[in-house]
Amino acid sequence: MSSRVAALRDLLQQKYPEAEVSPAGVLPTGVKELDEANGGLAQGVVTELVGPTSAGTLFTEIMLGVLVRQGCFGALVEAGNSFHPGDADANALQRLLWVRCPSVMLAVKAADLLLRDGNLRVLLLDLQTAPERELRRVPASTWHRFQRLVETSGMALVILNSQPAIEAARVRIAIRQRWKLECMKRRRRQLLRQLSMQVFERRQFPILADTEQKTA
C-alpha cells in the first residue's frame, strides 16, 4: 500500500512540479439546480453527492465537461471500478488524473495526498460501490481534515456516496432518480438534461432515506 502511495506522489511531482494556492470560488457546472443554488460547485468546501451509481457516473461526466471549459485539471479517485474512460471525451481525459484503488482506506490515502496539490481544481472521491463496513472504518476526523485542506488549497472536493455519511460536508447534493432499463438506450446527453438535483447547505441537510423518490 505504501509503495502505491509513493508512486502517486512521484507522479504528482513530475506532472505538477509547482503548486499554488487557488482562491476559493465556484465552478459553473451547467446544471440548473446547482448553478442557481450556489453559482456552481463550491471550491474550498467538502461536497457530498448522494445517489445511485448511475447518478454518480453522470455527475462525473458533468465535471469532465467543467475541466474542459475551465481549462483546469482534476482528479478522480475511486474505491471500485465505476469509471469507464472509454466512454469519456478525449480532451477531458487529458485533464484528469484517474486513480483506481482496491479499498476505501487506500482511496482515502490517495485523496489525502492529492488534496495537498494546488494545481488541481476538482477532486472526485468515488465511494459509491464501497462496502459499508469499510466506510465505517474511516474516522470522522479524516473528513474534517479534508475540509481544512480544501479551505487552504481552494480545491473543490466532491465525495460520491450511495448514502449520506460525510459528517464534515458543507454542501450535499441529492440525486434521487432511479433510471429504468429503457434509459440505457438513450444518449448520455439526453440523460444529463433530465438529471434532477437538490442542493442543501449543511444546516438544511435532510434525512434522505425518508424522502427518496423514484423517477423514470
The C-alpha atoms of residue 40 and residue 25 are separated, in whole angstroms, by 9
Q: Which of 13-22, 24-33, 192-201 has the lowest mean pLDDT?
A: 13-22
**Quick check: is 3 in a domain?**
no
**Quick check: is 56 in a domain?**
yes
The pLDDT assigned to 8 comes to 62
**Quick check: is 13 in a domain?**
no
127, 118, 21, 49: which is closest to 83 by C-alpha? 127
Q: Which of 51-55, 124-128, 159-163 has the lowest mean pLDDT?
A: 51-55
**Quick check: is 122 in a domain?**
yes
Tell me the pLDDT tens digit for each residue of 40-80.
899 999 999 998 887 888 889 889 999 999 999 999 999 98
Percent of the chain predicted with pLDDT > 90: 44
In the block, residue with C-alpha cell 482562491: 23
Q: Could you tell me whether strands 96-101 and 120-126 are parallel, antiparallel, or unpaired per DSSP bridges?
A: unpaired
Are 169 and 59 contacting, i.e. CB atoms less than 8 angstroms apart? no
**Can you give the CATH number for the domain in which 201 is found?**
3.40.50.300
The pLDDT assigned to 185 comes to 47
Most confident listed range (3-7, 26-30, 206-210): 26-30
Q: What does each C-alpha distance from 14 to 8, 38, 74 come to in angstroms? A: 10, 35, 16
Strand partners, 73: 120
**Quick check: is 36 in a domain?**
no
Q: Per the structure block, which three cell numbers stand in for 131?
A: 462496502
**Quick check: is 15 in a domain?**
no
Mean pLDDT of the chain: 80
Q: What does each C-alpha distance from 121 to 103, 111, 156, 213 come to in angstroms? A: 24, 13, 6, 32
Residue 12 carries which side chain, given as an amino acid letter? L
Flag whether pLDDT at 176 surpasses 60: yes
Is 127 buried (19+), middle (13-18) or exposed (0-12) by CB count in 10 A? buried
What residue numbers bound the domain in which 91 lies?
41-215
Are 119 and 96 contacting, i.e. CB atoms less than 8 angstroms apart? no
**Quick check: is 35 in a domain?**
no
Please compute, for residue 45, the number of CA atoms within 13 A of its CA located in the half-sphere on the CB side. Answer: 19
In the block, residue with C-alpha cell 444529463: 192
Flag whether pLDDT at 179 surpasses 80: no
Instruction: Give 21's pLDDT tier (boundaries 50, 70, 90).
Output: very low
Is 168 buried (19+), middle (13-18) or exposed (0-12) by CB count in 10 A? buried
How many domains is the chain built from? Answer: 1
> What's the average model confidence in pLDDT over 128-153?
93
Tell me the pLDDT tens digit for each residue of 72-117.
999 999 998 888 888 788 999 999 999 999 999 999 999 999 998 7
**Quick check: is 168 in a domain?**
yes
Strand partners, 158: 47, 124
